[in-house]
A and B are shown apart, each in its own frame.
Chain A
Amino acid sequence: MNTQSMSARAIKSPQSQWVKNLTESHSWIGVIISPLLFLIFWAGAVTLFYEEVKQWDVVPQFPVALEQNQVPLQQIVEDKLAQHDFDYEEHLMVQMPSEHDPYYKVFLDLVREEGKQDEHGEVVSLLIDPNSGASVANRDDFFLGDFIYRLHYDLNLPGGAYLIGIISLFFFFALVSGVFIHAKKLFKHFFLYRNDKNRRDQLLDLHNVVGVMTLPFTLMYAISGLVFNLAIVYQIAFVVFIYQGDQDTLFKDAGFTLFDEPRIEQSIDMTRAYEIIEQTRQRPDFYLRNVIFYNYGDESAIIQLRGNDLAHFSQKDEFFYRVKTGELLNKTDIENYNVFRKGREIIATLHFGDFAGVDVRVVYFILSIAICAMIVVGNMLWLDKRTLQQNVSQRTISLVRGLTLGGCGGLIVATTVAFFVERVLPAGMQARADYLIASFILTLVMAIVLSYSISNKRRYLTQMIMLSCLVLTATIAADWYLFASEIIQLTRQGFYGIVGVEIAMLLMIISGLYIVRKLSQSPSQQALSLQPVS
């Protein structure tokens, strides 16, 4: 919401000076955080369809017929324990099949090597066919969905979550300062878009209209982003000042149950655990998402069952049972919940938009893309203004221009390339995920480097859009060339995510071609600020 022009009218009054200072801060911070903010919203928009992308990625490679009898969970778990060197001091997690994802996923912490007992050991994550009980792949080999999700919340970097938290904080500041800057016109100019005015007014209106109309959504995202990524700050403050260093009590007060009973090294038959799991699965209006075993096979064994209460909004149920006695140790449901934990879950539900059907996520997606456009337009406004000013160095302008064009545009191209690479790489390939990451990073870096070396920025923008459309077309073609019969069979079985992702790609291609056409029709007006000034 960059409204620098309004502050130029009366700079003498303290109020307008106040607005002017905020406007400067808003645009300065906006430009600095813009590349990462664009990445967060772009990756977040794709991640809204995480389950569908995961289904598109994995299920055609290992089709599953749902009508067959499934292997009992106990047999699956105990087979995997026999096949791997599981560290029985650690917990074991099983993710249950869902409508999007038909496989069991078993996560096993392996025994650590001698001398490395203090380090976190290797974790095997297996994708298991529920009909045969066979491990079809390592879950992490099909990394596309998780890669984009992790880009969204921690950039796939150590400490990245805190960086994203700080970006969310400055984004929150940009929103609040934008409201103050735009306050006088917030309602009067709610839907104002001056199509007949000059380019700067059009861009400003676009920035403001999108900013105002998405405000509830963006405020929710800023606050939830902070809660997920920067709550550590207040957690430390609570532990130090209120809990005198006792972090476990804080977690308990925040509703997170921890069981860390030691093993007593007396073995037990775990059949009772699987009976409890089956009973819990049969509860009405309940979907069991995952099961965590503590002290597997020991008399001290405990199971933790987590799932969704389908009858209530954002209600995540959790049950802890002692396996030996079948005693219910702790439960969280609609009648027994902790306000802090429940509040956090509601924030998460609003953040992910998974409280209703696909339609809500489509609305979230459109809003996220609109915010991506708002970020780019904000940078274009900054470039327009600074290009005319003498007090900003050409190097800074060139850097912002390159990052806006190469960074934001390159991110879209890199995502399409990642989809293509994920589809064409063989399923059993060694270090498959590494090739995916390398293809993404290489494309992004090349796009940024080229944005500095190519002088005709507008043509470069068109070329990037065309390349994205071409790669997406190739991805759809590869889909049908490699998996035509599987896609048809899976769609008949109700796995609509695969075709859904293809339709989304097709819509992206159509939108891209439309933008290219528009760019070629308006010779000098559009994308001017992305052109260097001669």
Chain B
Amino acid sequence: MWPKTITAFLGGLLLSVSMMLSLYLLIPLAIDIKLLIGLLAGFSIWVAAMVYFYSFNNPKTSALRCGKFLLLSVAINSLLFWYQSPL
């Protein structure tokens, strides 16, 4: 259970940070609203990712899925940062 926990905790953290940044860049709202949405969505994504990673039978499958999602999310983030200024 420990390897799965490490994947769920760290993978969930990285994925949530990455997705939260994408959300921030995509939502066309005032900065203070985006910050609040980002904070609440960040924790929700983190826990949703943990539930997803814990649902696999073994830690290896869990880590592989985590890696795939993370790569996809980082790629989207890179594109967003490339095409628009964060502030």
Contact = CB atoms under 8 A, between A and B. Distances in A.
A291 B47 CA distance: 39
B43 A237 contact: no
Q: Is the interface of B mostly helix, strand, loop or mixed?
A: helix
A354 interface: no
Interface centre among A22, A173, A253 (most CB of B within 10 A): A173
Contacts of B81: 241
B30 interface: yes
A499 interface: no
Nearest to B20: A234
Nearest to B77: A241
A343 B42 CA distance: 15
B57 A21 contact: yes
B24 A223 contact: no
A223 B43 contact: yes
A147 interface: no
Contact of A226 (B1, B38, B43, B54): B43
Interface string B67-87: 000000000000001000011
A242 B87 contact: yes
Interface centre among B8, B20, B38, B54 (most CB of A within 10 A): B54
B40 interface: yes
Contact of A169 (B31, B32, B46): B46
Interface in B1-37: 1, 4-5, 8-9, 13, 17, 20-21, 24, 30-33, 35-36
Contacts of A480: none
A227 B40 CA distance: 8
A442 interface: no
Given A21-B55, A227-B39, A242 B86 contact: yes
B32 A172 contact: no
B47 A176 contact: yes
Interface stretch (A81-89, A334-342, A384-392, A468-476): A334-342
A483 interface: no
B10 to A, nearest CB: 12
Contacts of B47: 169, 172-173, 176
A394 interface: no
Nearest to B30: A339
A230 B1 CA distance: 24
A248 interface: no
A25 B35 contact: no
B50 A173 contact: yes
Nearest to B58: A21
Contacts of B24: 238, 242
Contact of A338 (B21, B32, B39, B56): B32
A234 B35 CA distance: 9
Q: Is the interface of A mostly helix, strand, loop or mixed?
A: helix
B46 to A, nearest CB: 7
A233 B32 contact: no
Interface string A19-44: 00110110011000000000000000
Interface in A240-291: 241-244, 253-255
Contact of A25 (B1, B38, B87): B1
B48 interface: yes
A344 B35 CA distance: 11
A238 B38 contact: yes
A169 B45 CA distance: 11
A233 B13 contact: yes
A243 B50 contact: no
Given A18-B55, A25-B54, A177-B51, A340 B35 contact: yes
B19 to A, nearest CB: 11
A254 B54 CA distance: 34
Nearest to A243: B87
Given A28-B1, A241-B21, A242-B21, A22 B55 contact: yes
Interface in A220-234: 223, 226-227, 230-231, 233-234
A235 to B, nearest CB: 9
Contact of A231 (B17, B39, B87): B39
A519 to B, nearest CB: 34
A25 B38 CA distance: 27
Contacts of B1: 24-25, 28
Nearest to A241: B21
A230 B43 CA distance: 9
Given A21-B55, A180-B51, A255-B32, 17 more contacts: A25-B1, A28-B1, A29-B5, A169-B9, A169-B47, A173-B47, A176-B48, A177-B54, A227-B40, A227-B43, A234-B20, A237-B17, A242-B21, A339-B36, A340-B33, A341-B32, A343-B36
7 contacts: A21-B57, A234-B17, A238-B24, A241-B21, A241-B81, A339-B33, A339-B36
List the 8 closest A-B pairs by CB distance, nearest first. Answer: A25-B54, A339-B32, A340-B32, A242-B86, A343-B36, A340-B35, A340-B36, A237-B17
